Structure 1
């Protein structure tokens, strides 16, 4: 294998993605107080579907299924039954991690994204078509979770989405804007005929869009279960779409679809002290890098002077931002070196927890100085230096997040994705297919021929940044927060920001979500455009950081415990709401 990789091109390095989807402005959101149960989702119609299930006596998992089916219809740019998802669930006693991440077809190899010229394909040449479509896992994962934690009949959970697909739903301002700005979706005749008018313009805001093809698929899923998507004529339609693309065919087969299995994994949890209290933070383990990176950033920060720095004029100070972005550089260096599908890659030191050991985090924290390191190097948490190479920065997009608490105290955080905006731009039976395979490293090895942990391999799950998170009071074990966000690699920063806001600065969920976004993926310091004063930017530059201001379109959803019940927050940068009683 190393000989074959000896002449591999150097790791891909591209401009960090400015945002997962185009921005559509800010809208003021007050937050929502409820007493017993709540659902937070990225679209009001989807939140209402979950609300209906909770009011009917459904569980958090029941509500999540109803929400996700409606999101497939009304927020097709972000997630759906053609993609994958991570679900973190608390049943009142334990936290479980349900892995519905897509897998690579059996026929791929590690040069899937290497062109005829021996170089990595440009991002959108890889994305648009069948090449990057992974075997979808959302529905089978939700079916697994429902068997264990559902209360309502499976078929009932599809009714809101079926009704909306048949009767029509109004095109939202955000969907209209994204359709108007997308240059690839019209290339697929099926998608063009559905999303656009004959003159090529997207349907106007408020247009009642009907999707009878998706309604028919959802009816089949309601009756037959996930098998209807993974076997038979729907599966055949998916495979034909992937393999018959005229310019960029993929390698998926019926056997890949039929053989897909979700995984039930152990949640990755760690203790974190903030503002004098101890919290127990649980996130999703690899193949997601989200929980590890968030835990490393917060853990390193807790050992630094930043731990005691308050907000200044309602904003993070330049001193705090310096320490945060340096911590983030260290975490992202480890992420690039180590994190990949655990069925294919061994964790450093024999356990992913080695990356969170107090002594290791203290070593990493000691590397932070008054000047920015600009680009950090990975650490060595185990006894041996790793043999693999680090993955270069690549574009990473997509996703939608759902947070739910039900009347029995069950709670979940679920992040779902089709990766890029509108995925692979391939539409089948009324839903879009993902392009998740572009979350793998485009090149199989670094410049020295060392294999990259997150390289393409048959049956492998690509590394993700999704970070569904549940937080507990360590003193009494009570759940206090469920949170997550879309945003590609920036998800890590959006979730870390919200945790810091709530537990470090004493904000409510809405206030923490509304804070301006910031971060570093082990490159430039990135600040949300127009949200920070010039003196803070100049201060960061004076410390040696390259600072860029740009749009950072998070889509955070959170529900936090209060003395009177629950308080939910939704990101002002998107269309999400919280509903409950």
Structure 2
């Protein structure tokens, strides 16, 4: 047995011990029904201590994945090298959230420039704008559209990671797959979160491959601690390791994906071999904006369209800065005040109105006033901030950045799901924030298996459901984020890097899963660290909140009744519910006079920070 495989088994044993006897344990009482907007159910809270690293650090959603990334960094690998190892392990141990059957946004800093590597899925060439309408022109019920081949877009994560590795990798491509291959062949312990989500899942069991892999003969999910092996995924990863991304996008693996999508008995899809062969990741310019914190200028960089997170976060933070509550920090250990929450919510509603109107794939849709930064212009935010009053706005129309009228229809609200987040800094001065997804929990509920003789495989995304189901409004105006062949759906993924604007020094890497609520989870952590002086773990631990245009969502059990009542008096409909973010963050700090990286991982999920 190789050294890496032995270490993988050691990580498996350590993870099982942590999962079963962690500082907080697994609290089944915390599992609660969540609104449709939630990508994954809650699975309890586990207190996280916060971490300190001096040379390098990896923050990821599963201990095995974090440890695999840290091992790559110890071998002299770069941040991109570590991200590849982390993603491959997450494909195995956190299959509900991300994997090689999905896509990702990777924001990378090499000490000089920030790049945005776009591995977002694309719509198949045969997909039409009316894909999610029934014969009467009515949008399909969401789960009916999601489960099966109809919702599957061309996966982009593997090609994007290969592109990033070509530019920034230090270790051989093949070596980065060894931890995941070892775990897939020798097995990993089913975690409490995976078990909980399998227990509440129903559609996944309708796929014979997935049912045989995730469930016992009696239809029950494998118990916590069960050693689960995935030999078919191991074979696929070996092929990609030896032949590069071509092994995924052409040949037996590609054929298996196409057959799985097109031969679904009830809901076949449009993905074909040519879609896979012609997929191209994109190297985009990051979307960065200036933000002042106590007269210190920061440069906050996020993902440009088709990402919507950076623009929405930039608008929310810019609007808040123009209100009396800009610097209103909560008391230590307390949630934000009703006044601050009201102002934040109104700012969010303004940002989300613009998001619904304008945000889509920039290769298909022109930016308002010809540039995306028009949504962040000072005069525009001044005008929008004046709409925020003491009571909830009755209606929130999109604005007119640059004074230009929009011909687009506003996209109707519909569910968004998914994702996992990875933050990494390496010993070479490189850093990244990568948010990765198969969209809904367990994606399209289709598991690709390349051989009848091996169990397991990998799950395919349902990313096409991020397009607007309705391509036009009642007046016939087009929705910017409508489905079109080759188009990338709008995303809420918000990988974020923060810099000192004067020196260029990297200060922070942060991001989260959570569907459209990613924007709020990430904004909360940025506000907590940058404005309220909290360390990353304390900022992540703060109660979650946000709105998607409907009710104001507050994390259940975390806000006083008086806060809820005060918000209701201002006109807000308040819903208290589980809000299971999965935040990961690394922030530059000082300890004993030495520069360090302070790490935080969300207590609502299973992640840790690993490093030296």
Tell me how far 1:291 sits from its aligned partner: 0.4
Equivalent residue, structure 2, for 1:401: 421
- What are the superposed Cα offsets for residues 163-186 of structure 1, whole Å, 9 maximum, x if unpaired? 000000000000000000001000
1:376 correspondence with 2:396 = yes
In 1, Cα distance between equivalents of 2:193 and 2:212: 19
In 1, Cα distance between equivalents of 2:328 and 2:605: 29
Equivalent residue, structure 2, for 1:489: 516
**Among 437, 441, 447, which residue is 2:464 paired with?**
437
Q: Provide TM-score, normalisation by structure 2.
A: 0.92
In 1, Cα distance between equivalents of 2:136 and 2:477: 21
Measured on the aligned residues, the alpha-carbon RMSD in Å equals 0.9
Tell me how far 1:447 sits from its aligned partner: 1.6
**Among 174, 192, 206, which residue is 1:155 paired with?**
174
Structure with more contact order per residue of length (Cα contacts < 8 Å, sep ≥ 6): 1
In 1, Cα distance between equivalents of 2:562 and 2:404: 44
1:522 correspondence with 2:553 = no
Asked whether the equivalents of residues 435 and 494 of structure 2 are also in contact (C-alpha less than 8 Å), the reply is: yes
**Among 315, 323, 327, which residue is 1:296 paired with?**
315
Asked whether the equivalents of residues 18 and 550 of structure 1 are also in contact (C-alpha less than 8 Å), the reply is: no
1:452 correspondence with 2:479 = yes
Equivalent residue, structure 2, for 1:422: 442
Equivalent residue, structure 1, for 2:199: 180
In 2, Cα distance between equivalents of 1:339 and 1:235: 31
Tell me how far 1:524 sits from its aligned partner: 1.5
- What are the superposed Cα offsets for residues 356-386 of structure 1, whole Å, 9 maximum, x if unpaired? 0000011110100001115411000023211
Equivalent residue, structure 2, for 1:34: 53
Alignment of 1:207-218 (within 5 A): 207-218=226-237
- What are the superposed Cα offsets for residues 379-422 of structure 1, whole Å, 9 maximum, x if unpaired? 00023211110001111000000000000110000000000000
- What are the superposed Cα offsets for residues 115-141 of structure 1, whole Å, 9 maximum, x if unpaired? 123210000000100000000000000
CA separation of 1:173/1:375 partners in 2, compared to 1, >3 Å: closer, same or farther?
A: farther
Q: Could you tell which deviates more after superposition, 373-382 or 281-290?
A: 373-382
Unmatched runs of 5 consecutive residues or more in structure 1: 1-14
Equivalent residue, structure 1, for 2:538: 511
Equivalent residue, structure 2, for 1:462: 489
In 2, Cα distance between equivalents of 1:379 and 1:555: 31
In 2, Cα distance between equivalents of 1:373 and 1:118: 32
In 1, Cα distance between equivalents of 2:37 and 2:369: 34
Asked whether the equivalents of residues 139 and 226 of structure 1 are also in contact (C-alpha less than 8 Å), the reply is: yes
Equivalent residue, structure 2, for 1:198: 217
Asked whether the equivalents of residues 374 and 523 of structure 1 are also in contact (C-alpha less than 8 Å), the reply is: no
Asked whether the equivalents of residues 354 and 381 of structure 1 are also in contact (C-alpha less than 8 Å), the reply is: yes
1:475 correspondence with 2:495 = no
CA separation of 1:16/1:445 partners in 2, compared to 1, >3 Å: closer, same or farther?
A: farther
In 2, Cα distance between equivalents of 1:411 and 1:45: 20
Alignment of 1:297-446 (within 5 A): 297-313=316-332, 314-429=334-449, 430-446=457-473
1:99 correspondence with 2:126 = no
Equivalent residue, structure 1, for 2:12: none
Equivalent residue, structure 1, for 2:30: none
**Among 274, 284, 307, which residue is 1:265 paired with?**
284
Tell me how far 1:193 sits from its aligned partner: 0.3
- What are the superposed Cα offsets for residues 483-535 of structure 1, whole Å, 9 maximum, x if unpaired? 00000000000000000000110000000000000011222111111100011
- What are the superposed Cα offsets for residues 176-199 of structure 1, whole Å, 9 maximum, x if unpaired? 000000010000000000000000
Q: Could you tell which deviates more after superposition, 371-380 or 247-256?
A: 371-380
Q: Could you tell which deviates more after superposition, 322-331 or 276-285?
A: 276-285
- What are the superposed Cα offsets for residues 300-331 of structure 1, whole Å, 9 maximum, x if unpaired? 00111111212135221111101100000000
In 1, Cα distance between equivalents of 2:263 and 2:346: 46
Q: Which runs of 4+ in 1 moved over 6 A?
A: none
In 2, Cα distance between equivalents of 1:52 and 1:91: 20
In 1, Cα distance between equivalents of 2:575 and 2:465: 25
CA separation of 1:380/1:578 partners in 2, compared to 1, >3 Å: closer, same or farther?
A: same
Equivalent residue, structure 2, for 1:135: 154
The SS at the match of 2:597 is strand
CA separation of 1:165/1:117 partners in 2, compared to 1, >3 Å: closer, same or farther?
A: same
Asked whether the equivalents of residues 50 and 66 of structure 1 are also in contact (C-alpha less than 8 Å), the reply is: yes
Tell me how far 1:34 sits from its aligned partner: 0.9
The SS at the match of 1:156 is helix
Equivalent residue, structure 1, for 2:610: 579
- What are the superposed Cα offsets for residues 449-473 of structure 1, whole Å, 9 maximum, x if unpaired? 1000000000000000000000001
Asked whether the equivalents of residues 397 and 489 of structure 1 are also in contact (C-alpha less than 8 Å), the reply is: yes
Asked whether the equivalents of residues 471 and 480 of structure 1 are also in contact (C-alpha less than 8 Å), the reply is: yes
Equivalent residue, structure 2, for 1:547: 574
Q: How many residue pairs end up in the alignment?
A: 567
Q: Could you tell which deviates more after superposition, 82-91 or 379-388?
A: 379-388
Equivalent residue, structure 2, for 1:61: 80
In 2, Cα distance between equivalents of 1:168 and 1:426: 21
- What are the superposed Cα offsets for residues 181-235 of structure 1, whole Å, 9 maximum, x if unpaired? 0010000000000000000000010000000000000000000000001001110
Asked whether the equivalents of residues 37 and 416 of structure 2 are also in contact (C-alpha less than 8 Å), the reply is: no
Asked whether the equivalents of residues 37 and 515 of structure 2 are also in contact (C-alpha less than 8 Å), the reply is: no
Q: Could you tell which deviates more after superposition, 214-223 or 514-523?
A: 514-523
Unmatched runs of 5 consecutive residues or more in structure 2: 1-33, 450-456
In 1, Cα distance between equivalents of 2:80 and 2:101: 19
The SS at the match of 2:483 is coil
